[in-house]
Structure 1
Amino acid sequence: MTSFQEVPLQTSNFAHVIFQNVAKSYLPNAHLECHYTLTPYIHPHPKDWVGIFKVGWSTAHDYYTFSWSPMPEHYVEGLTVNCVLAFQGYYLPNDDGEFYQFCYVTHKGEIRGASTPFQFRAASPVEELLTMEDEGNSDMLVVTTKAGLLELKIEKTMKEKELLKLTAVLEKETAQLREQVGRMERELNQEKERCDQLQAEQKDLTEVTQITHKAIEKETELDSLKDKLRKAQQEREQLECQLKTEKDEKELYKVHLKNTETENTKLMSEIGRLQLCLAEKENLQRTFLLTTSTEQVQATRQEVVFLAKELSDAVNVRDRTMADLHTARLENEKVKKQLADAVAELKLNAMKKDQDKTDTLEHELRREVEDLKLRLQMAADHYKEKFKECQRLQKQINKLSDQSANNNNVFTKNIGSQQKVNDASVNTDPAASASTVDVKPSSPSAETDFDIITKGQVCEMTKEIADKTEKYNKCKQLLQDEKTKCNKYADELAKMELKWKEQVKIAENVKLELAEVQDNYKLQLAEKDKEISVLTSHLENLSREKELTRTLENQAERKMEDGADGAFYPDEIQRPPVRVLS
């Protein structure tokens, strides 16, 4: 532990703020109040603060925690002021064995006051206990804690302080009111004297009226002061009555405590008497039970025989129900297997039928579509070839017509030139004339041959064109027929799709019927399960009855043993006692 001589500050500064009622130790996590007095040597500032420093600090920055110092109300320089500051419990140090002290630090960082050292220690339960005598002088020691005793003392002191404060305030008010009353009476006497003087003199009526008004006001003030004094006296009387009532309540509590103690003694004596009565009663019951035990043993034996018969019957019923349950379970499993097989077969058959129908329909439709596509392709190719041949023949016809026209022009030109030659050579040479004569008959024959050839070619070409046109028309008709067939096949496809959809609907209906069959089967299974649960509950009841019979047999044996020993317990007897015939 460090000493206070290590502090490098003046000792005179520490007397400017004096810390009051500093305890030797405080609780670590409890609310802490710090009381201190500001001397006339210090001027408080809003930025002043009080810190908790570990002993051995060197500067104002070595604080553990701090709180701002509140500015005192109605502060007057040159006077001492008492202040209170609160530290929250969660900011305080733990129980570490170190010593701490309060220090007052100004806004300039100067330490102007320090308290005596203290520690933060957790209170042990033994240290907090105190023994005190009862206030009622009943030779009793009361064990309480220090905290409880301090709280009671604090409450009493607080109440006494409040009452003293109220009485002091009331006494001050009454003294002030009495002074005011005396002063007002003196003033009133003075005013009366003055009024007398004024009345005697009778100088000024206005002054007299003013004085009378003032006297009336003073009288009203005096009446109000008297009322205040009465109220203060009434409040004082009420406080005295409260004190008396509290004292009376305290005495009543003491009387009540004494009464409870006397009642406790009476109850203890009654409890002893009742225990004696119970012992006598138990003895009487045992003697009575000894007489009635033999009859009860015989009755229990008869009951045991009857219950054994019932148990054998129940065992037989249980065996029969177990056999029925086993057969029902086997039948249930068989029905389940049959239903599952039937459902699977129905599903497989329906799926196979639908698959076969759809496969055959798809195969036929695809084959027909392929045939139609081939026919359409062949017809289109044939149509293209015929169209190309027609164009080629048309070109040949145009060429032949052009050639025939050119040949006719050449032939007419040759004929004209031949005529001119003949006209010129008529008179010159007979041999030439003979030659010309020989030529003339040859030209018309060549012309006719050419015309015949061209006509024949034209006829052949026209025939070919006619044939081609007929073939074209036939191909066109075939194409039209194929289109109509395609439309028919498309209609048939649509019909087949409708049939397929109908088949799908039929399959869905079959599925729904299968689902209904499954639901019915499930309902049957649930009913079987219910029957099984009923049988199991019946078996459980039988087993319980068997256990009851066993317990009854055990009880009977115990009663027999108790009867043999001569010890009976009234709690085990459930039947009323049978009267013994004299």
Structure 2
Amino acid sequence: MEESSLSRAPSRGGVNFLNVARTYIPNTKVECHYTLPPGTVPSASDWIGIFKVEAACVRDYHTFVWSLVPESVTDGSPIHASVQFQASYLPKPGAQLYQFRYVNRQGRVCGQSPPFQFREPRPMDELVTLEETDGGSDILLVVPKATVLQNQLDESQQERNDLMQLKLQLEGQVTELKSQVQELEKALAAARQEHAELAEQYKGLSRSHGELTEERDILSRQQGDHVARILELEEDIQTISEKVLMKEVELDRVRDTVKALTREQEKLLGQLKEVQADKEQSEAELQMAQQENRRLNLELQEAKDRQEEQSAQAQRLKDKVAQMKDTLGQVQQRVAELEPLKEQLRGAQELAASSQQKAALLGEELASAAGARDRTIAELHRSRLEVAGVNGRLAELSLHLKEEKSQWSKERAGLLQSVEAEKDKILKLSAEILRLEKAVQEEKTQSQVFKTELAREKDSSLVQLSESKRELTELRSALRVLQKEKEQLQEEKQELLEYMRKLEARLEKVADEKWSEDPATEDEEAAVGLSCPAALTDSEDESPEDMRLPPYGLCESGDPGSSPATGPREASPLVVISQPAPIAPQLSGPAEDSSSDSEAEDEKSVLMAAVQSGGEEANLLLPELGSAFYDMAR
């Protein structure tokens, strides 16, 4: 197989095919790697097909597989994916060029790969020439490509193991640093807790001092309030006493007024009785006048008929009526004069009632003022006692406050010193934590860099591993082909060996018959055999090739009676075992045997000639049989 060529596919629609080889083995599955550009949304309806290069329609595919939709897709980054074509669906080997094409769900071709072929592997395709410089001399080594790839894979694996060990060491260091940071954080938390406890104690002392100060201020204010209250109560007592005296004087005056009003009321009641009697009398007269008026009206009604006769009498009656009217007007005037007297009497009654109520209220107020005065005197006495107790307690609290203040000042000085020491410790711990955080950040950055390098190395190792697997598969296929060829050569070797044994048996038989018939010839040949080694020994320095035995010729006719050559280069033809003429009819058997024997002789002569000519082609073609034939030729 030709050397693999890894290249990127020309972009059509943005899809790139990676690691596309020039040739693929037909009976092995093919793995296709491709990259979708950023922004492309993969779909389960997209597919990758193997097309002929000259195919113009998406339906002219040879085989296809559905594309895989990745589980997680990152926006703005390319998507790497791969698919596999099964060996049973691949094209047959030949000179036809194929290419991968990516077809989306709309039936549009989004990318295609460089052309490639499907061919059977050849043994010499997987050899790689390496050049080594050792001591100033260039050495060319021909090694299998699988060995080179395996060495590269081992080196990558070793480098990956070293990086993993380095990563584990860094992780251990990071763990130790984290434990140190945790210990420092615990120490810092303990220091902060102790500082918080001291601060709480300081706050408690401050609160107690504030409470004592507030209590002292409250007691001082209460004392001032009590003194002011006592003064106010004394002023109120004096004011109430003056008011009581004024109320008593006013009460006496009101009593006199009530007596005068009572006498006036009695007078008004007498006048009212007289007016009522006059009114009753006037009312009786008025009733009588009304009755008489009604009677007169009746009489006037009766007298209208007798108007002419009684005009004088009517005049008298009119005068009498006028008199009655005057009397009635006087009565009404007297009744109108009695109305103001009624009003005055009603006002006098109301004034008397209000005076009585005022007197009752003044009595009640006087009683309440006397009770308030008694209560005020008792409260004043109690307040004086409380003020005396408060003064004693205030003196005790002042003494206790002075003691607490001195103790608090001492504790405050100690707390300030401890707080300063804790602040120094906290500053040191903060600086140490910052330094550790910086170191941890640097370690994280380095570990991130190492992770990135490991990921990159892993990706490259995976790609190389996939390539190595593919090439290993090709090598295995080539090895199977070589094994088949080797088996065929072994079979041919066995056939040749068997045929050579038969030939040797025949030659021995012919030689025995010949030697038995002509002992003289045998003596001559023995003499020739004794003289040939000396000649060959003398000629080794001149021509080493003359030491090789010439090929056996079964069809050559030699002169048995010829004399041996005197020169060293003429000795080799005398060693040839030639077949005598009388034996030729015996070796010519049936037609099939003679044809097979002639073919075997031709193959043997070709192999022997190849061995004698240098053995390079035989060693390349038959690495195991070449040495055997070469030894046989010697």
TM-score, normalised to structure 2, is 0.28
Which structure has the greater CA radius of gyration?
A: 2
TM-score, normalised to structure 1, is 0.30
